[in-house]
Structure 1
Amino acid sequence: MTFPGRMTEQLLPEELHHISLSFLVDHLDIRRGGVGANIAVGLGRLGLRPRLVGAAGADFSEYGAWLRANGVDTRGVLVVPELYTARFLCTTDRDHNQIASFYPGAMSRAAEIELAEVLARTGPADLVLIGPDDPAAMLRRTAECRALGIPFAADPSQQLARLTGEEINELLTGAAYLFTNAYEHKLLIQKTGLTERDILRRVGTWLTTLGPSGVRIESESGPTVDITPPRERHRADPTGVGDAFRAGFLAATVRQLPLEVSAQVGCLLATLVLEVTGTQEYTLEAEDFLGRLTEAYGPQTARQVGSHLLA
C-alpha cells in the first residue's frame, strides 16, 4: 500500500506511548511472493521441475494453479484449511518509510511435513534448498537431508535474526552451498562466533550477493571469485532479486555447469527480476536470455547454457 504523505508527520513525540493511527492509502498492490515460491518459479522457467515443500492455507488454490502452470510441482505443499497462507503487509510513504507486518499463518505448521514422505511420492531429489521458513521446519529439513544423504543448500536469510548461533551452525554445517547477502554474511559470523575460515570448513561453497556489485564465491579449496551482473536495461524493483539469483545458480548447478557459469546465470536471472515490478512478473525468452549472456559473459558461456540448460 502507498500513503502519499509522510508517516513521520503523523507521529507526536509526547504520545508515542500509545499510538492509534490510520493511513488513507492511494494504492493497493497484491503480488505473488514467498522465497520458496519465487525460487521455484525461476527454476521452472529455466526448464527444471522443482518441488515446493512448505505449508500454505485455505487461500492457496489459485496460487497453486499459477505455480503449476510455471513448472512447479506443488505436491509437497501442506494445505492447512483453518489458516491463511503467510503474507507480508506493508505501507510505504512518500519518503519510502515503511510500516509492515508479517503474518506467518500456515507457515507455522511447516515442521509437520516429512521430507522422506514427499520424496516417496514425487521421486528422488538432486539437491534440497532449505530457505527461510518456520525455524523448526528449517532444522528438521536439515536433519532429514543429512539422514537421507541428500545434498542441501543452506539459505537462512530473513530468519537469521530469529535463529540462535547454535541453530545457524546446525543449519549450515555440511551444506553444499551457503547463501547470504553482504549484511547477512557479517551477521552470521557475529551470531555464530565463527570466523570466515571456520564457516568455509563447514560448507562446500559460500555465495554472498553484493547488490549492484554482483556475487562473491568463496570456498576453502579454491580462490575467491567475483561475478559482476549484466548491464540492466532499466531498474524497477529490487524485491526478489536474491531469490532469482538462487534459482539461476541452482538450475545451472544441477545441470552440472561450472560454478562461475552458474553464478553468471543467477546474475542474469536476477537482472530480469530487477527490471520489472514484482518477484515473478518477468518473462524469460531463451533467445534473448542467451543474447544477454553473450553480451555480458561471452559466447562460450552462452553456448554452455544453451546446450545444457535452455535446450
Structure 2
Amino acid sequence: MRIAVTGSIATDHLMAFPGRFVDQLLPDQLEHVSLSFLVDTLQVRRGGVAANIAFGLGGLLLEPVLVGAVGPDFAEYEVWLKEHGVDTGSVYVSCEHQTARFMCMTDQDSNQIAAFYAGAMAEAGRIDLRGVHDRTPLDLVLVSPNDPGAMVRHTEQARELGIPFAADPSQQLARLTGAEVRSLVTGARWLFTNEYESALLRERAGWSHAEVLDRVGTWVTTLGAQGVRIDRKGEPALTVPAVPDVHAEDPTGVGDAFRSGFLAAVSWGLAMETAAQLGCAMSALVLATVGSQAYEIRPERLLATVRAVYGGRAAGLLAAKLGRPA
C-alpha cells in the first residue's frame, strides 16, 4: 500500500522542567498567568507530525510519501528521512520561510506546555495532491495536523481523486472551525484522536459520538497508559492495552508512532486488534527515548515486546510481515 502522509514537518526544541506545572499555577490568578520555567535540559530534534509518522512507516519498510512544506534549511533533515525509507519527492520547499518549529516543555508528570511556529507550513496549501498522485499512485492519504487550509484542501482532493483517506486533526482541533472539522472527518476510512481530542472534536463538530461514527469507517482513540479504543458503528468497542512498565523519557511523538504501526499493519491486511498491538509496541519505543525520531526499529525487539504483552499469536502474525521468524 502506497501511503501519502500530509502534515507538518518541523524541528523540535524539547525542554525538561524538573517540577510540576500544577504546583506553579495559583487557582485565583489563572486570568493573569505570567510564568517563566527554568528547565534542566534542551534537546533539538527532528519532528513534525507528518515527518514522525512517515519515519515510522519508513522504518517498517512501507516507503511512505511525505507531503508537506519546509524551508531552505531542510536539506540535512531530508537526507535523514531518505536514509530511513521516506519518499521526499513531494515535499514543497518555500523560498520565504524557514521550516516550522515546535517548542515543548515537559514536567515530571509528563504534562506538556508547547508552542508551534508554522513558518513554511503556512504554504502547504500550495501542494496539489493530483501531482503527487500522478507521480506515484496513492492507496491512502493521511491528513494530519498542518495549515488548516491545506488540511481541508488535501481532504477534498482525496475525495475528488477517489483515494481513501484517514483524518488525524489532533493538534489543530483548537484552530479549526466546526465546518472545517466536519469536512475533515466526513467519509474518513480512519479517524485518529486521543481521548481529550475526541471530546474536543465532538464539541467543535456539534456531533454526538454516534453521529461521528455515522460518518467514518473506524474511530481509533488512543488512551495513553490505558492503551487504545477502536469504535465502529453497530459493533462493540475494541480495547487494546498499552505496553506496561515503560520508563517514560519523553512523550513527544508517541501518538505518531502508534499511527505508523497501526497503518502499517492494516496495509498488510492484518486485523485491527493486531494493528493496534503493533501501534502500542511502536509507541513504547518512542516513549523510552528523547525525541520523536530517536528510536530504532529492530524487528526482533519489536516482536519480543508484542509476544510478551499480547501473546505468541500476535507476534506470529506480525513476524511474517516483518520478515522475521515467529
Once residues 238 and 19 of structure 2 are traced to their aligned partners in structure 1, the CA distance between those partners, rounded to angstroms, is 44
Judge conservation of contact 2:243–2:284 (CA < 8 Å) in 1.
yes
Percent identity between matched residues is 53
Aligned match for 2:232, one of 219, 225, 242: 219
Q: Which residue of 1 aligns with 2:218?
A: 205
Residues 6 and 61 of structure 1: CA distance in aligned 2, closer, same or farther (over 3 Å): same
**Pairwise CA distance, 1:132:** 0.5
Question: Aligned pairs, how many?
Answer: 306
After superposition, where does 1:39-188 map in structure 2 within 5 Å? 39-90=53-104, 100-121=114-135, 123-188=136-201
Instruction: Give the TM-score taking structure 2 as reference length.
Output: 0.86
Once residues 108 and 264 of structure 2 are traced to their aligned partners in structure 1, the CA distance between those partners, rounded to angstroms, is 38
Q: Which residue of 2 aligns with 1:300?
A: 313
Residues 301 and 26 of structure 1: CA distance in aligned 2, closer, same or farther (over 3 Å): closer
Residues 268 and 98 of structure 1: CA distance in aligned 2, closer, same or farther (over 3 Å): closer
Residues 301 and 18 of structure 1: CA distance in aligned 2, closer, same or farther (over 3 Å): closer
Judge conservation of contact 1:43–1:248 (CA < 8 Å) in 2.
yes
**Pairwise CA distance, 1:160:** 0.4
Higher relative contact order (CA 8 A, sep 6+): 2
**Pairwise CA distance, 1:232:** 3.6
Once residues 110 and 228 of structure 2 are traced to their aligned partners in structure 1, the CA distance between those partners, rounded to angstroms, is 26
**Pairwise CA distance, 1:98:** 7.0
Name the SS of the counterpart of 2:98 in structure 1: coil
After superposition, where does 1:31-46 map in structure 2 within 5 Å? 31-46=45-60
Measured on the aligned residues, the alpha-carbon RMSD in Å equals 2.6
Amino acid at match of 1:124: P
Once residues 32 and 123 of structure 2 are traced to their aligned partners in structure 1, the CA distance between those partners, rounded to angstroms, is 34
Any unmatched runs of 5+ in structure 2? 1-14
Once residues 136 and 186 of structure 1 are traced to their aligned partners in structure 2, the CA distance between those partners, rounded to angstroms, is 23
Residues 99 and 155 of structure 1: CA distance in aligned 2, closer, same or farther (over 3 Å): closer
Once residues 153 and 18 of structure 1 are traced to their aligned partners in structure 2, the CA distance between those partners, rounded to angstroms, is 38
Judge conservation of contact 2:246–2:287 (CA < 8 Å) in 1.
no
Judge conservation of contact 1:145–1:152 (CA < 8 Å) in 2.
yes
Q: Establish whether residue 193 from structure 1 lines up as the match of residue 206 from structure 2.
A: yes
Residues 79 and 213 of structure 1: CA distance in aligned 2, closer, same or farther (over 3 Å): same
Residues 199 and 17 of structure 1: CA distance in aligned 2, closer, same or farther (over 3 Å): closer
Once residues 265 and 28 of structure 1 are traced to their aligned partners in structure 2, the CA distance between those partners, rounded to angstroms, is 30
Amino acid at match of 1:217: I
Judge conservation of contact 1:215–1:226 (CA < 8 Å) in 2.
yes
Q: Establish whether residue 268 from structure 1 lines up as the match of residue 281 from structure 2.
A: yes
**Pairwise CA distance, 1:157:** 0.2
Any unmatched runs of 5+ in structure 1? none
**Pairwise CA distance, 1:286:** 1.1
Judge conservation of contact 1:131–1:155 (CA < 8 Å) in 2.
yes
Once residues 5 and 46 of structure 1 are traced to their aligned partners in structure 2, the CA distance between those partners, rounded to angstroms, is 37
Q: Establish whether residue 257 from structure 1 lines up as the match of residue 270 from structure 2.
A: yes
Name the SS of the counterpart of 2:243 in structure 1: coil
Name the SS of the counterpart of 1:242 in structure 2: helix
**Pairwise CA distance, 1:17:** 8.4
After superposition, what is the alpha-carbon deviation per residue over 1:241-288, rounded to whole angstroms, capped at 9, x for unaligned?
A: 100100000000111111111111101100111111111111111112
Once residues 109 and 302 of structure 2 are traced to their aligned partners in structure 1, the CA distance between those partners, rounded to angstroms, is 35
Name the SS of the counterpart of 2:275 in structure 1: helix
After superposition, what is the alpha-carbon deviation per residue over 1:53-98, rounded to whole angstroms, capped at 9, x for unaligned?
A: 0000011000000001110000110011321000023456889897
Amino acid at match of 1:304: L
Residues 242 and 100 of structure 1: CA distance in aligned 2, closer, same or farther (over 3 Å): closer
Q: Which residue of 2 aligns with 1:245?
A: 258
Once residues 83 and 294 of structure 1 are traced to their aligned partners in structure 2, the CA distance between those partners, rounded to angstroms, is 46
Name the SS of the counterpart of 1:175 in structure 2: coil
Q: Which residue of 1 aligns with 2:301?
A: 288
